[in-house]
Amino acid sequence: MLNWNDILNFADKKNPEPDRRVEKTEKEWRSILMPEQFQITRQKGTERPFSSDVCSRFEPGRYECVCCGTLLFDADEKFESGTGWPSFTQPFRENVIAYIRDQSFGMSRIETICNTCDAHLGHVFPDGPEPGGLRYCMNAAALKKVEVVQV
């Protein structure tokens, strides 16, 4: 289980190695993404808080990167943070997200990006529930929900 010290170490030293890499040109990304998805994931945008019903939905499933399909979060790790963005306590696996120090807008934050395709996802904060204490505050437009098929 990751904690805030792990996140800071990744941001300051070296992020975990991804299982694979996906790289496309800006034109290729524009051709496969909706305009809002492109603006958020490829241009580091942020959707308005409470603009998606994903915040209030807690059905079983998993969340993939909308750009490359990398599995990022399990719905079991989702919680109501009251912030207006979907929030998770842990990524699906340690190496699916990369962390970057973000000093934009006069704030000191840790940006989260897809470790496979570098899509901007949101930010992670040290004010989540225990035991890990993390709050992955994600843009809903950066995520694609997939159902888990029970066999």
The residues that are catalytic are 137
Dmax over Cα atoms in the chain, in whole Å? 49
Whole-angstrom Cα distance, residue 138 to residue 81?
11
Instruction: Name the one residue in this structure whose structure tokens are 């395709």.
Output: 117
Grouping H, G, I as helix, E, B as strand and the rest as coil, residue 64 is strand
Task: Report the 10 Å Cβ neighbour count for 108.
Answer: 8
Q: Which residues, other chains included, contact 134 with Cβ-Cβ below 8 Å and sequence gap of 6+?
A: 2, 3, 4, 7, 89, 90, 124, 125, 126, 128
Q: DSSP states of 94-109 as a string?
A: GGGEEEEEE-GGG--E
